[in-house]
Amino acid sequence: MAAAAALLVLAALSSPAPVAAGRRRSGWIDAHATFYGDETGAETMQGACGYGDLFQQGYGLDTAALSVALFNAGASCGGCYELHCASSTYCRPKGGPITITATNLCPANYSKPNENWCNPPLHHFDLSKPAFLRLVTDFHVGIIPVKYRRVKCGNKRGGVRFQMTGDSRYWVGVVVFNVAGAGEVKGLAVKGGRDGVWREMKRNWGAVWDGGDVHRLVGQGLSFRVVAGDGRMLELEGVAPGNWAVGQSFEGKGQF
Protein backbone atom coordinates (compact mmCIF):
# COMPACT_ATOMS: atom_id res chain seq x y z
CA MET A 1 0.00 0.00 0.00
CA ALA A 2 1.17 3.56 -0.60
CA ALA A 3 2.42 5.46 2.41
CA ALA A 4 1.76 9.14 1.93
CA ALA A 5 0.58 9.99 5.44
CA ALA A 6 3.47 12.32 6.22
CA LEU A 7 3.01 14.17 2.97
CA LEU A 8 -0.70 14.53 3.57
CA VAL A 9 -0.03 16.11 6.95
CA LEU A 10 2.46 18.51 5.35
CA ALA A 11 -0.02 19.40 2.63
CA ALA A 12 -2.81 19.98 5.14
CA LEU A 13 -0.83 22.86 6.65
CA SER A 14 -1.04 24.88 3.44
CA SER A 15 -3.89 23.34 1.44
CA PRO A 16 -7.67 23.50 1.74
CA ALA A 17 -9.63 20.49 2.91
CA PRO A 18 -10.14 17.84 0.20
CA VAL A 19 -13.07 18.45 -2.08
CA ALA A 20 -14.73 16.02 -4.44
CA ALA A 21 -12.92 15.89 -7.76
CA GLY A 22 -13.90 14.60 -11.15
CA ARG A 23 -14.98 17.81 -12.92
CA ARG A 24 -14.18 17.71 -16.62
CA ARG A 25 -12.62 20.65 -18.41
CA SER A 26 -11.94 20.18 -22.11
CA GLY A 27 -11.55 16.44 -21.69
CA TRP A 28 -9.36 16.71 -18.58
CA ILE A 29 -10.55 15.85 -15.06
CA ASP A 30 -9.55 17.73 -11.89
CA ALA A 31 -7.65 15.82 -9.20
CA HIS A 32 -4.66 16.16 -6.85
CA ALA A 33 -1.30 14.40 -6.59
CA THR A 34 1.26 13.61 -3.89
CA PHE A 35 4.22 11.22 -3.87
CA TYR A 36 5.57 8.41 -1.72
CA GLY A 37 8.99 6.85 -1.34
CA ASP A 38 12.34 8.28 -2.38
CA GLU A 39 14.24 8.74 -5.63
CA THR A 40 14.98 5.02 -5.92
CA GLY A 41 11.30 4.09 -6.04
CA ALA A 42 11.90 1.12 -3.74
CA GLU A 43 8.65 1.72 -1.84
CA THR A 44 6.62 1.58 -5.05
CA MET A 45 7.52 -2.07 -5.69
CA GLN A 46 4.97 -4.81 -4.88
CA GLY A 47 1.73 -3.20 -3.74
CA ALA A 48 -2.00 -3.74 -4.01
CA CYS A 49 -2.01 -4.67 -7.69
CA GLY A 50 0.12 -7.74 -7.04
CA TYR A 51 2.98 -6.72 -9.30
CA GLY A 52 6.54 -7.37 -8.17
CA ASP A 53 9.71 -5.68 -9.39
CA LEU A 54 8.29 -2.88 -11.52
CA PHE A 55 11.59 -2.48 -13.37
CA GLN A 56 11.68 -6.11 -14.44
CA GLN A 57 8.00 -6.03 -15.35
CA GLY A 58 8.40 -3.02 -17.63
CA TYR A 59 6.66 -0.31 -15.59
CA GLY A 60 9.66 1.43 -14.06
CA LEU A 61 9.00 4.53 -11.96
CA ASP A 62 6.30 6.13 -14.11
CA THR A 63 3.70 4.76 -11.72
CA ALA A 64 1.09 5.81 -9.20
CA ALA A 65 -1.06 4.51 -6.38
CA LEU A 66 -4.67 5.43 -7.08
CA SER A 67 -7.23 6.69 -4.60
CA VAL A 68 -10.03 4.27 -3.71
CA ALA A 69 -12.47 5.81 -6.20
CA LEU A 70 -10.03 5.43 -9.09
CA PHE A 71 -8.62 2.05 -8.04
CA ASN A 72 -12.03 0.44 -8.63
CA ALA A 73 -11.32 -2.62 -6.42
CA GLY A 74 -8.25 -3.44 -8.51
CA ALA A 75 -9.90 -3.29 -11.94
CA SER A 76 -7.80 -0.20 -12.80
CA CYS A 77 -4.46 -1.96 -12.27
CA GLY A 78 -2.30 -1.62 -15.35
CA GLY A 79 -4.30 1.28 -16.76
CA CYS A 80 -2.51 4.43 -17.90
CA TYR A 81 -3.23 8.08 -17.12
CA GLU A 82 -1.87 11.34 -18.46
CA LEU A 83 -1.34 14.08 -15.84
CA HIS A 84 -0.18 17.67 -15.86
CA CYS A 85 0.40 20.10 -13.02
CA ALA A 86 -2.33 22.73 -12.75
CA SER A 87 -2.68 26.12 -11.04
CA SER A 88 0.31 25.90 -8.73
CA THR A 89 3.31 28.20 -8.34
CA TYR A 90 5.33 25.00 -7.91
CA CYS A 91 4.51 23.67 -11.39
CA ARG A 92 7.50 23.25 -13.67
CA PRO A 93 7.29 25.44 -16.79
CA LYS A 94 6.69 22.18 -18.63
CA GLY A 95 4.99 20.38 -15.76
CA GLY A 96 3.71 17.52 -17.83
CA PRO A 97 1.91 15.91 -19.25
CA ILE A 98 3.42 12.70 -17.92
CA THR A 99 1.98 9.24 -18.48
CA ILE A 100 1.84 6.88 -15.50
CA THR A 101 0.61 3.34 -14.91
CA ALA A 102 -1.62 2.36 -11.99
CA THR A 103 0.33 -0.16 -9.90
CA ASN A 104 -0.87 0.38 -6.33
CA LEU A 105 -3.65 1.61 -4.04
CA CYS A 106 -3.53 4.75 -1.92
CA PRO A 107 -5.58 3.51 1.05
CA ALA A 108 -8.50 5.35 2.58
CA ASN A 109 -8.63 6.48 6.19
CA TYR A 110 -12.31 6.49 7.07
CA SER A 111 -11.64 7.72 10.59
CA LYS A 112 -10.51 11.03 9.08
CA PRO A 113 -12.89 11.60 6.17
CA ASN A 114 -11.90 15.24 5.67
CA GLU A 115 -8.12 14.80 5.92
CA ASN A 116 -7.22 11.93 3.62
CA TRP A 117 -6.97 12.68 -0.08
CA CYS A 118 -7.38 9.00 -0.96
CA ASN A 119 -10.84 8.62 0.60
CA PRO A 120 -13.75 8.19 -1.80
CA PRO A 121 -15.09 9.94 -3.78
CA LEU A 122 -11.84 11.89 -4.31
CA HIS A 123 -9.69 11.47 -7.40
CA HIS A 124 -6.07 11.36 -6.29
CA PHE A 125 -2.70 10.08 -7.56
CA ASP A 126 0.12 9.13 -5.18
CA LEU A 127 3.09 9.18 -7.56
CA SER A 128 6.58 7.82 -7.30
CA LYS A 129 8.93 10.62 -6.28
CA PRO A 130 10.74 10.71 -9.66
CA ALA A 131 7.39 11.08 -11.46
CA PHE A 132 6.28 13.83 -9.04
CA LEU A 133 9.53 15.73 -9.61
CA ARG A 134 8.76 15.88 -13.33
CA LEU A 135 5.72 18.00 -12.45
CA VAL A 136 7.03 20.35 -9.73
CA THR A 137 10.04 22.54 -8.96
CA ASP A 138 10.14 21.57 -5.27
CA PHE A 139 8.85 18.28 -3.86
CA HIS A 140 8.38 19.93 -0.44
CA VAL A 141 5.08 21.34 -1.70
CA GLY A 142 3.67 17.93 -0.77
CA ILE A 143 0.48 18.13 -2.81
CA ILE A 144 -0.51 19.78 -6.07
CA PRO A 145 -3.66 20.14 -8.16
CA VAL A 146 -3.48 18.19 -11.42
CA LYS A 147 -5.63 17.47 -14.41
CA TYR A 148 -5.76 13.95 -15.79
CA ARG A 149 -7.31 11.78 -18.46
CA ARG A 150 -7.24 8.09 -19.34
CA VAL A 151 -4.94 7.20 -22.23
CA LYS A 152 -3.73 4.07 -23.96
CA CYS A 153 -0.60 2.56 -22.49
CA GLY A 154 1.20 2.44 -25.81
CA ASN A 155 3.52 -0.28 -26.99
CA LYS A 156 5.17 -2.81 -24.70
CA ARG A 157 8.33 -4.78 -25.24
CA GLY A 158 7.37 -8.37 -26.05
CA GLY A 159 4.07 -10.12 -25.44
CA VAL A 160 1.61 -10.16 -22.56
CA ARG A 161 3.27 -11.84 -19.58
CA PHE A 162 1.99 -14.17 -16.87
CA GLN A 163 3.53 -14.95 -13.49
CA MET A 164 2.45 -18.04 -11.60
CA THR A 165 1.95 -17.51 -7.89
CA GLY A 166 0.45 -19.33 -4.89
CA ASP A 167 0.97 -22.98 -3.90
CA SER A 168 0.57 -25.56 -6.66
CA ARG A 169 -0.88 -28.10 -4.19
CA TYR A 170 -3.86 -26.00 -3.17
CA TRP A 171 -4.13 -22.66 -4.94
CA VAL A 172 -2.53 -21.11 -8.00
CA GLY A 173 -2.88 -17.50 -9.04
CA VAL A 174 -1.81 -15.76 -12.22
CA VAL A 175 -0.47 -12.19 -12.32
CA VAL A 176 -1.05 -10.62 -15.75
CA PHE A 177 1.30 -7.78 -16.71
CA ASN A 178 3.05 -6.04 -19.59
CA VAL A 179 -0.31 -5.37 -21.26
CA ALA A 180 -0.29 -2.77 -24.05
CA GLY A 181 -3.28 -0.77 -25.25
CA ALA A 182 -5.86 -0.45 -22.49
CA GLY A 183 -3.37 -1.84 -19.95
CA GLU A 184 -6.15 -3.14 -17.73
CA VAL A 185 -7.43 -6.72 -17.77
CA LYS A 186 -11.12 -7.37 -17.19
CA GLY A 187 -11.28 -11.06 -18.03
CA LEU A 188 -8.98 -14.09 -18.00
CA ALA A 189 -9.46 -17.75 -18.89
CA VAL A 190 -7.02 -20.67 -18.82
CA LYS A 191 -6.86 -23.87 -20.88
CA GLY A 192 -4.89 -27.03 -20.13
CA GLY A 193 -2.88 -28.59 -22.92
CA ARG A 194 -4.43 -32.05 -22.46
CA ASP A 195 -8.11 -31.34 -21.79
CA GLY A 196 -8.48 -28.32 -24.11
CA VAL A 197 -11.26 -26.75 -22.02
CA TRP A 198 -11.34 -23.00 -21.38
CA ARG A 199 -11.89 -22.23 -17.69
CA GLU A 200 -12.93 -18.74 -16.67
CA MET A 201 -10.87 -17.24 -13.86
CA LYS A 202 -11.83 -14.47 -11.46
CA ARG A 203 -10.00 -11.47 -10.08
CA ASN A 204 -8.63 -12.32 -6.64
CA TRP A 205 -7.06 -8.91 -6.00
CA GLY A 206 -5.47 -6.31 -8.25
CA ALA A 207 -3.89 -7.99 -11.26
CA VAL A 208 -3.94 -11.43 -9.59
CA TRP A 209 -6.42 -13.94 -11.02
CA ASP A 210 -7.35 -17.39 -9.71
CA GLY A 211 -10.07 -20.00 -10.07
CA GLY A 212 -10.51 -22.13 -13.12
CA ASP A 213 -8.99 -25.01 -11.13
CA VAL A 214 -5.51 -23.97 -12.23
CA HIS A 215 -3.95 -26.07 -9.47
CA ARG A 216 -5.53 -29.11 -11.16
CA LEU A 217 -3.67 -28.25 -14.36
CA VAL A 218 -0.24 -28.89 -12.82
CA GLY A 219 1.68 -30.94 -15.36
CA GLN A 220 -0.22 -29.54 -18.33
CA GLY A 221 0.86 -26.77 -20.65
CA LEU A 222 -1.22 -23.62 -20.23
CA SER A 223 -2.87 -21.27 -22.71
CA PHE A 224 -4.56 -18.00 -21.72
CA ARG A 225 -7.40 -15.93 -23.11
CA VAL A 226 -7.15 -12.29 -22.04
CA VAL A 227 -9.89 -9.68 -22.28
CA ALA A 228 -8.53 -6.13 -22.01
CA GLY A 229 -10.28 -3.23 -20.35
CA ASP A 230 -11.49 -1.96 -23.73
CA GLY A 231 -13.11 -5.31 -24.53
CA ARG A 232 -10.50 -6.57 -26.99
CA MET A 233 -9.69 -10.28 -26.62
CA LEU A 234 -6.45 -12.15 -27.23
CA GLU A 235 -5.95 -15.93 -27.16
CA LEU A 236 -2.38 -16.96 -26.42
CA GLU A 237 -1.67 -20.63 -27.03
CA GLY A 238 1.08 -22.61 -25.36
CA VAL A 239 2.19 -19.86 -22.99
CA ALA A 240 3.53 -22.12 -20.23
CA PRO A 241 5.08 -25.59 -20.75
CA GLY A 242 3.88 -28.65 -18.89
CA ASN A 243 6.65 -28.36 -16.29
CA TRP A 244 5.67 -24.81 -15.22
CA ALA A 245 6.13 -23.98 -11.54
CA VAL A 246 4.93 -21.35 -9.12
CA GLY A 247 7.27 -18.34 -9.18
CA GLN A 248 7.99 -18.58 -12.90
CA SER A 249 6.93 -16.02 -15.51
CA PHE A 250 6.04 -16.71 -19.12
CA GLU A 251 5.57 -14.52 -22.18
CA GLY A 252 2.73 -15.05 -24.60
CA LYS A 253 3.32 -14.75 -28.33
CA GLY A 254 0.94 -11.87 -28.79
CA GLN A 255 0.16 -8.36 -27.62
CA PHE A 256 -2.68 -5.83 -27.75
Per-residue pLDDT tens over the stretch 119-175: 999 999 999 999 999 999 999 999 999 999 999 998 999 999 999 999 878 889 999
Reply yes or no: is the peptide bond before residue 145 cis, omega within 30 of 0: no
More confident residue, 19 or 187: 187
Q: What architecture is domain 5-151?
A: Beta Barrel (2.40)
CB 96 within 8 A of CB 166: no
Backbone φ/ψ region at 214: left (φ over 0), alpha (ψ -120 to 50), beta: alpha
Given pLDDT bands bounded at 50, 70 and 90, which one contains residue 100? very high
Rounded to an integer, what distance in angstroms lies between the CA atom of residue 37 and that of residue 129? 6
Q: ∠ at Cα 68 (66, 73), nearest 5°?
A: 95
pLDDT at 8: 38
- Residue 13 has a pLDDT of 31
Q: What is the pTM of this model?
A: 0.87
Domain ranges of the chain: 5-151, 161-251
Q: What is the structure's pLDDT at 15?
A: 44
Q: What are the tens digits of pLDDT across the range 205-230?
A: 999 999 888 888 999 999 999 999 99
Q: What CATH fold (topology level) applies to the domain 161-251?
A: Immunoglobulin-like (2.60.40)
